[in-house]
Structure 1
Amino acid sequence: MFRFHKTLDVLTLFHAPASTASKRILETLRSSPTAHKKSFELDVVEAPTVPTPTQLTSILEFIGKNRVGEVVPGARSEGDAVRLLKVEEAGRKEGGGGGMVRPLLVDWNNGRAVVGGDEGAVLRLLETLPGN
């Protein structure tokens, strides 16, 4: 008899290795009981890589488009955010600065995101993954 296995939820962490908050969130994700049960697949995307425009659209739908400035400081709209991220990515490749907020954790399967280093929010997201 064949049995179909449930696919794992994919969580993406947009991570800044130099950030204490980002390192703490990454450690929380790796050491959580949910991680030990293999309830999700963790994809770590390190700076300077930024979300694609399609990913950014999804992230803003998850958290609410009115919170765009929390993800990309200085952005007032989705279009602003896309433009600023392109500038950030180009600037980082040339050694410049940028401003996307990291850590940014995205649960693509369940349409949720946690912006910043709120460890409690990350733990709540993990605890409410389907199958836990």
Structure 2
Amino acid sequence: MFKRFFGEHGAKNVVTLFHKPNNEASTRILTLLKQANAQSVAHATEDQASSHQAQNEVEKTEFELDVTEEAPTGDQLKNILEYLGGSPGKVIQGASDESDALRRLKADSNTFQRPLVVDWNQGKAVAGENESEIMKLVRSIPRETKKS
């Protein structure tokens, strides 16, 4: 669903961090994502400045970082579980399957485990604070080249 809206017409990839400010791991991941985004924007600018070919081609490497403290909607949770290969216990505390996860989320949004990073365009997610997996996800964002 999100791919249809964001993956076409040159739009940036949207990466969402489900964040909890008083969670040290979540704050660390927010900093990591902000740095990764800033570096990708800086590299794109450096490439454009240093390459004559880059005058004809603009490489879009950055992503739009969406940070939310809200729990996901039911539809978002279904997508997230699909992206993770159906590991509901990683996302919703104590959940045994998708329907249990949806029920628990509806009953108490605090059962939702943060941090959780989602690349809606690629259909990928990383639950928890595994920085190397999150960077792998960010690095796998397709670079879009446009002819001007």
Q: Do they fold alike, i.e. is TM over 0.5?
A: yes
Corresponding residue number in structure 1 for 2:34: 30
- 1:52-94: CA deviations, max 9, x gaps? 11101111111111x11111121111111111111223xxxxx
Give the alignment of 1:7-86 within 5 angstroms: 7-32=11-36, 33-34=39-40, 36=42, 37=44, 39-46=62-69, 49-65=70-86, 67-86=87-106
Q: Which protein has the larger Cα radius of gyration, Structure 1 or Structure 2?
A: 2
Gaps of 5+ in 2: 1-7, 45-60
| 1:25-44 Cα deviation digits (max 9, x unpaired) | 00000011235456111111
CA change 1:35–1:25 in 2 (3 A) is farther
Over 3 Å counting, the alpha-carbon distance change for 1:59 and 1:35 in structure 2 is farther
Instruction: Give the CA deviation at 1:7.
Output: 0.7
Cα distance between partner residues in 1 of 2:29 and 2:101: 24
**Offset at residue 5 of structure 1 (A):** 5.8
Task: Give unpaired runs (5+ residues) of structure 1.
Answer: 90-97
* Kept after mapping to 2: 8 A contact 1:34/1:126: no
Structure 1 residue 129 corresponds to structure 2 residue 141: yes
Percent sequence identity over matched residues?
A: 43
Code of the aligned partner of 2:127: V
Q: 1:74 to 1:28 in 2, by over 3 A?
A: same
CA distance in 1, matches of 2:41, 2:27: 16
Aligned length: 118
Secondary structure at the counterpart of residue 31 of structure 1: helix
Q: CA RMSD in A?
A: 1.8
